[in-house]
Structure 1
Amino acid sequence: MRMAEVSAKFELSQDTLRYYERIGLIPPVNRNNNGIREYNEDNLRWVEFIKCMRSAGLPIEALIEYVNLFQQGDCTLSARKDLLIEQREQLRLRIEEMVQTMGRLDSKIENYGQSLHETEKALSRS
């Protein structure tokens, strides 16, 4: 699969794909005789994984660490699991904060609704 197709499939810019390859988040992508990148299934799995983890809020640094550990082999299984557990906890805290923020927004919106209703009632009395 060529870069433009991968870019469209995963909704990532081609610059982002090049960046991920350059910093080692995805393995080097083979190139055809014309120098055009040809993504294989392994590359696509890494792109999907990295996109998922970025969507969850994992920082690039944590992903680089994870990939480096992965490349070292099975002796790093525990360290990789620990890294993911730590990142999951960070995500849980962000979700908790977002839920609290949503409650505040809902409350503010409700206040505006009540205020608007009172203003409309006052206008109808005029």
Structure 2
Amino acid sequence: MTVTEVPPEGLTISAAAELSGLSVDTVRYYEKEGLSLHQPGRSASGQRRYTEADVRWLGTLVMLRRTGMPIRDVRRFVDLYRVDGSEPQRLAILEAHRERVLDELSEVQTHLDAINRKIDYYKDMVNR
């Protein structure tokens, strides 16, 4: 995700959501669940305002979720991110997640191989 220049007053929740590829409801959910690094600033009228760093963090959450990381693991990662010196624990979370993703990838590859075998079988049948 490339973040465009964020104005000094920050972005509205809808603009931050659009830039990060999330819905406004999802951004609010992530905030409610404590997945934001901090609460966004507020405008004089009380509207949330998001900085470039906030939008980049939303991008991190998007990436973690799109890889299939469960919310409980994202929450652990975020909680540790707030703690200086917790890099080894964050690394362990990411490495464990990578192993799960690799296992899933292997399973999907097995399914794809089976589909390809069936396609080859039916191509042979059709071309006889």
Q: TM range, normalised to the smaller chain?
A: 0.7 to 0.9
How many aligned residue pairs are there? 117
Unaligned runs of 5+ in 2: 1-10
Runs of 4+ off more than 4 Å: none
Any residues of structure 2 matched to 1:78-97 within 5 Å, and which?
78-97=88-107
Equivalent residue, structure 2, for 1:64: 75
C-alpha contact 1:25 1:46 (8 A) present in aligned 2: no
Equivalent residue, structure 2, for 1:36: 47
Equivalent residue, structure 2, for 1:121: none
Match of 2:22 among 12, 15, 37: 12
Which of the pair is proportionally richer in helix?
1
Higher relative contact order (CA 8 A, sep 6+): 2
Residue 56 of structure 1 deviates from its aligned partner by 1.0
Equivalent residue, structure 1, for 2:125: 115
Residue 110 of structure 1 deviates from its aligned partner by 2.4
Residue by residue over 1:2-25, the C-alpha shift from the partner in whole angstroms, topping out at 9 and shown as x without a partner, is 121222222211111100111111
Residue 46 of structure 1 deviates from its aligned partner by 1.0
C-alpha contact 1:7 1:17 (8 A) present in aligned 2: yes
Equivalent residue, structure 2, for 1:49: 60
C-alpha contact 2:80 2:90 (8 A) present in aligned 1: yes
Between the aligned residues of both structures, percent identity stands at: 26
The worse-fitting range, judged by mean Cα deviation, of 33-42 and 17-26 is 33-42
C-alpha contact 1:21 1:28 (8 A) present in aligned 2: yes
Query: Aligned partners of 1:100 and 1:84: how far apart in 2?
Result: 24
Residue by residue over 1:70-109, the C-alpha shift from the partner in whole angstroms, topping out at 9 and shown as x without a partner, is 11222x2211111111111111111111111111122222
SS at match of 1:25: coil
Equivalent residue, structure 2, for 1:106: 116
